[in-house]
Amino acid sequence: MFALWSQSFLPALPLPRPPVLSLYARSPPAPRRGRGRRSGSAVRAIPGDAANRVRRLKALGPERVKQEEEEKRQQASVEPLTAVRAEQLDALGVALLAQGRPQEAEEAFRQSLQLASLVDAEWAANNLAVSLKAQGSERYGEAEELYRSTLKKRRERLRDTRSPEILTSLNNLAVLLKAEGQLPEAEELYRQALSGRRRALGDLHPDTLTSINNLATLLASTGRSDEAETLYFEALEGCRKTLGEDDLDTLYSADNLGLLLFREGRAEEAEPYFRRAQQGFLRQLGRLDPEHLRSEDNLAVTLMALQRYDEAEPILREAVEGFREILGEEHPDTLVAQANLDVLLEEKQASDLQAMRRTV
């Protein structure tokens, strides 16, 4: 049986030949508030949710991410103004998260929180929670406390349930609760966020599309495939129209829809979605990005389910070699991909033997 790993790269139960899943469960960016002058000093605002900004920064490539880190580290070290320095430290945290360094990002976000103004402290606390969640389940409790306190403060301060800041907090808390297995509350918060975004932003706004996808992912994980499929199709078509064919949101949507179809035994329908995601991730992120390698595994396993072993083998070999190169021989992701390749070779050999017997 093939192993399944999620975006967190943890092996899951051996479902019937499932491909690997690249989920996106992201939070939208907040509107950037004004950069005016007040009380004689420059006032800058932390520009919104770290999770979404990390994803966008990573799409620019590792060299640009490293450059961003160096620039923000330098700016934060020389900036004397408290509000401006808080923003630079926040941006430094985003750059560190984009490089897979959540512990260092946590420190940058903590410093930003200490310096942030009253309103920006809510964003600083939110982004600190993002870095805690990225460190794994041992830090989920701390992240949940920050998300809940931020949501409470925003509800008390803003009161308007359609406020983008409140809707972002609902989404972020729901993402974490889903990861913790608190599915009923997560679903309720996802539905609140989606309803609010549809009313406030419209069906095609990127934030609304994120909420559609997130709710679909939860529904799919709890066996409600019909509603999940409808929402995944809506998210994919909306991303195409709003963001374009090669936007990362569009590619994640295609991958998620492919997985749902595959799990329903519809591998032939799933293949074009997985192939579209794999080719898009290659163009956008490069051959050795984990998202691209994960999408290669998705596509290869689907081809195996269709008994197209000769097509699947080189794709899966490339995924295994890529994981070895960037993560090492003993990393769980490498081991999962290698196990999939071992099964492929066994099935291919068995298929070849059957073909030989039929010709005798």
Out of 153-167, 184-198, 316-330, pick the least confident: 153-167
Give the residue with greater pLDDT, 191 vs 347: 191
Asked if residue 208 has pLDDT above 90, the reply is yes
Give the model confidence (pLDDT) of 118-159 as tens digits.
Answer: 667 888 888 899 999 989 999 999 999 999 999 999 999 888
**CB of 72 within 8 A of CB of 95?**
yes
Q: How many CB atoms lie within 10 A of CB 294?
A: 28
Long-range contacts at 224-231 (CB < 8 A, ≥ 24 apart) = 225/260, 225/263, 225/264, 228/260, 229/257, 229/260, 229/261
φ/ψ of 8, rounded to 5, equals -80, 0
Q: What is the pLDDT of residue 242?
A: 93
Q: What is the pLDDT of residue 360?
A: 60
Calculate ∠ Cα 193-198-201, nearest 5°.
105
Q: Which residue has the tokens 């932003």?
A: 201
Q: Alpha-carbon distance 18 to 265, whole Å?
A: 10
Give the model confidence (pLDDT) of 229-259 as tens digits.
Answer: 999 999 999 999 999 999 988 999 999 999 9
Q: What is the pLDDT of residue 27?
A: 36
What structural domains and CATH numbers belong to the chain?
46-122 (no CATH), 136-201 (1.25.40), 202-276 (1.25.40), 286-360 (1.25.40)
Residue 309's pLDDT band, with cuts at 50, 70 and 90, is very high
The mean pLDDT value for 310-333 works out to 93
Indicate whether this model's pTM tops 0.85: no
- What separation in angstroms does the CA of 15 have from each of 20, 181, 220, 265? 11, 19, 14, 11
Asked if residue 57 has pLDDT above 70, the reply is yes
Residue 350's pLDDT band, with cuts at 50, 70 and 90, is confident
Q: How many residues does the chain have?
A: 360
